[in-house]
Structure 1
Amino acid sequence: MTITQHRIGSGFDARSTADEVLAGIDLSGRNVLVTGGYSGLGLAASSALARAGAHVIVPARRPAVAKEALRDVPGTEVRELDLASLDSVRKFGERFLETGRTLDIVINGAGVMAFPHTLVGPGWEAHFAINHLGHHALVNRLRPAFAAGARVVSVASAGHFLSDIRWDDLHFRDGYDHWAAYGQSKTANALFAVHLDALGAAAGLRAFAVHPGSILTPLQRRIPREEQIAQGWIGRDGTQAAGFKTPEQGAATAVWAATSPLLDEYGGAYCQDCDIAEPATTDDMLIGGVKPWATDPGAAARLWRLSSELTGLDAFS
């Protein structure tokens, strides 16, 4: 399996918005699921998809908060889901399948960043469990609902530059660094798309990973102000650094990957700025691109097997 990681000339760029990439695309009658779809770029994606005619299902750990955030977005519904709990994922999947509805698009956008060392479930590191394993379980649970030509988009990040998969210490038993933990989970998001596409392509399912760009959202709420200043995200006066995207611009690449007909033959690709990303040639995350460990088919297959063993779920192989 070879993945194309070169720009294809989409006609969009880093400043394009979700509404702009959806211009002329009619999603009437389509069902879309967006985890994290009630906050930050997830809310921007849900809103744009709904405006394009889609019915948007938003799973939420805090349903009341989600309903309030989506109160003025017609065409959306909220259902309870905690990605840190395999039992919650099971119940969500069973309830959705009971409706008999199909899914045309799934955007795996929920996640955590820079958590203190936290173990969830059977002792899984929180970033890896929530950002990756919860979505692995969810997509496998929902497989019977996927419509022909469905797409699954994983919201990864240039954070994958920070860590490959730590095969010998996934859960940081031997020392902990919150940025390495986050980075490993973002690499896992990208590799998930690579192998899901390999497994699903014959049935018409395509999968992609995306880097939304630099954007300040509630995702960063647990990061101390001084660390945000040190990272160059905000100035001493609290103003956002130049080059950061708006939520609408941050949502655009995920929405583009979920809908663009240009991507029909490029499954498994890692995308950035509303196009397929180039291979990374530096370690500068602001420039971006994709590191080789995040698109390695062998590593993707290995991670899939491991994730299937940990969650007990493999509906595709």
Structure 2
Amino acid sequence: MTTAQHKIGSGFDARSTAADVLDGIDLTGKLAVVTGGYSGLGLETTRALVAAGAHVVVPARRRDTAEQALAGIDGVEIDELDLGDLDSVRGFAERFLASGRGIDILINNAGIMACPETRVGPGWEAQFATNHLGHYALTNLLWPALARDGARVVSVSSAGHRRSPIRWDDVQFTHGYDKWEAYGQAKTANILFAVQLDALGKDSGVRAFSLHPGGILTPLQRHVPKSEQVAMGWIDEDGNALNPSFKSPEQGAATQVWAATSPQLDGKGGVYCEDCEIAEPSDGDAPGVRGYATDPEQAARLWALSAELTGINAF
């Protein structure tokens, strides 16, 4: 039964780390796939899962960079994947399925933020295509491996979802591109994806979650000019973090690791989390998740659109 979008009293908070939420959890024999698991929060997530005993597959757009970042970490396997290229997504999925293994945890972590207007594939807006459509296609193509043992699928979203609902009249921003609205739409899509995947997958034992990791300075900010980060109060002129609510990478990785592994979430799914807790609904300025991002009708509509655009649908 899908859990209501309300706190459950996890005992963790914004300062909990990935190691904290994994304390006492043994992932020996478990296989996790972490997109972008070689940079920023993804790298911390990979480290934490491996430390708990998991074998982690890291599909990477920049394989050489991934090999350097993950050097010396046992229990990691690197493959190639460009989420903005459906042929690349299909290639990775085919190689993985050919190995005959099941997946216990899929963390759709990779993403881009606030990039200049960029088109990929058949003219898709890059943030929607990379952050949402690529992960939509990947998850559907990996479905046989996910359903085998009842995986958890974690969709890394953001509080940035508050910047925009799905722009049904112009999803691809063909008129008047705004980098932050495009990011917001893509992050809303990440939440709606988890809502619908959980509804479709729970009878097969697959549960899905989405989350806001918190504010963290990572390579995700690479498209945001320093002057803009200073103006927003993120950093000072020397590049030091200014916002006291910002987390360390170890704290930032905690919520996705919690969503992927915590026994507190057994039998639950389809919810948006923040600070290692299920978030409260919020349509104001308070923390929490906007109603348009958890609406089951919009989730089903987005799934249908994604299936139409990609030509992929496991259901």
* TM-score above 0.5, yes or no: yes
Aligned match of 2:96? 96
2:262 to 253, 260, 263: 260
SS in 2 for 1:42: helix
Whole-Å separation in 1 of the counterparts to 2:239 and 2:123: 37
Q: CA deviation at 1:148?
A: 2.1
* Matched-pair contact (CA < 8 Å) for 2:59–2:78: yes
SS in 1 for 2:152: strand
Q: CA deviation at 1:176?
A: 0.7
Whole-Å separation in 1 of the counterparts to 2:175 and 2:12: 44
1:5-44 pair list within 5 angstroms: 5-44=5-44
Q: CA deviation at 1:91?
A: 0.7
**AA in 2 matched with 1:292:** G
SS in 2 for 1:103: coil
Whole-Å separation in 2 of the counterparts to 1:307 and 1:134: 10
**AA in 1 matched with 2:230:** I
Whether 2:87 is the aligned partner of 1:66: answer no
**AA in 2 matched with 1:310:** L
**AA in 1 matched with 2:94:** E
Q: CA deviation at 1:2?
A: 6.4
Q: CA deviation at 1:140?
A: 0.5
Runs of 5+ consecutive residues of structure 2 not aligned to the other structure: none
* Matched-pair contact (CA < 8 Å) for 2:103–2:149: no
Aligned match of 2:112? 112
Aligned match of 1:208? 209
**AA in 1 matched with 2:28:** S
Aligned match of 1:77? 77
**AA in 2 matched with 1:27:** L
Runs of 4+ in 1 over 4 A off after TM superposition: none
Output one character per residue of 1:247-275: Cα deviation in whole Å (capped at 9) or x when no partner: 01000000000011111232100000000
**AA in 1 matched with 2:95:** R
Whether 2:109 is the aligned partner of 1:126: answer no
In the alignment of these two chains, the number of paired residues is 313
Whole-Å separation in 2 of the counterparts to 1:184 and 1:116: 15
**AA in 2 matched with 1:255:** V
Aligned match of 2:288? 289
SS in 1 for 2:56: strand
Output one character per residue of 1:185-232: Cα deviation in whole Å (capped at 9) or x when no partner: 000000000000000000110000010001110000121111001111
1:128-167 pair list within 5 angstroms: 128-146=128-146, 147-167=148-168
Aligned match of 1:277? 279
Whole-Å separation in 2 of the counterparts to 1:2 and 1:22: 23
Aligned match of 1:299? 298
Whether 2:184 is the aligned partner of 1:183: answer yes
CA RMSD of aligned residues (A): 1.1
SS in 2 for 1:237: coil
* Matched-pair contact (CA < 8 Å) for 2:157–2:211: yes
Whole-Å separation in 1 of the counterparts to 2:2 and 2:295: 9
**AA in 1 matched with 2:51:** R
Whether 2:97 is the aligned partner of 1:87: answer no
Whole-Å separation in 2 of the counterparts to 1:231 and 1:74: 39
Provide the TM-score with structure 2 as the length reference.
Answer: 0.97
Give the % identical residues. 65
Aligned match of 1:250? 252
Q: CA deviation at 1:3?
A: 5.1
Whole-Å separation in 1 of the counterparts to 2:313 and 2:10: 34
Aligned match of 2:196? 195
Q: CA deviation at 1:72?
A: 2.1
* Matched-pair contact (CA < 8 Å) for 1:34–1:106: yes
**AA in 2 matched with 1:148:** D
* Matched-pair contact (CA < 8 Å) for 2:292–2:298: yes
* Matched-pair contact (CA < 8 Å) for 1:37–1:110: yes
* Matched-pair contact (CA < 8 Å) for 1:3–1:295: no
The answer to which of 106-115 and 227-236 deviates more is: 227-236
Output one character per residue of 1:71-114: Cα deviation in whole Å (capped at 9) or x when no partner: 02111011000000000011111110010011000000000001
